[in-house]
Each structure stands twice: as C-alpha cells, then as structure tokens.
Amino acid sequence: MEAILKQPVVQYAGTISEKKWDGMHTIDELDASLKRSIHPERLIDPDWKAQPMRAWDDVYEDLCREVGVAYGLNDIREA
C-alpha cells in the first residue's frame, strides 16, 4: 500500500491533485476523494443502475463490427 501511495500521479479530468494525493494514507481516503470528483463531473452517472441493460451477445456483435470497421473490415472476426 505504501508503495502505491508513493507513485507519481498524473492529473486527468476527474482525478485528484498531487498535493491531495500526497496527504492520503488509506485506500478509503482515496476512494472517497475519487467519488467526490467523479460523480459531479458526470464521468460516471450516479444513477447508472437505472439505465437500460443490453444482452452481452448484442454488445459483442456491435463491438466486433466497430473494431472491424476501424481496420477496414466488416467485422474483426474476418481477420
């Protein structure tokens, strides 16, 4: 745990400052700080459980098509 807390932090939108990072001593402090910065910026919708769910098969099919198109194919499974 101490080794993780001593690693340098790169500042991204929705993350904590390096000064605040240096003052943290537990995972619970880190968790609470990240939750305060993530939810207000809407990086994660706090009501995400209420969103409609899709079947994994549908998600997988769409993913294979989208990745395939990025590589000039109709579907990545054609590779």
**pLDDT tens readout for residues 59-72:** 999 999 999 999 99
**pLDDT tens readout for residues 15-54:** 667 777 777 788 888 778 777 766 655 667 778 788 888 8
Q: Are residues 34 and 71 in the same domain?
A: no
How many C-alpha atoms does 20 have within 13 Å on its Cβ side? 13
Q: Are residues 22 and 59 in the same domain?
A: no
What residue numbers bound the domain in which 18 lies? 1-46
pTM over 0.85: no
Q: Are residues 26 and 60 in the same domain?
A: no
d(Cα 28, Cα 37) in Å, to the nearest integer?
A: 14
Q: Which residue has the tokens 């994660």?
A: 44
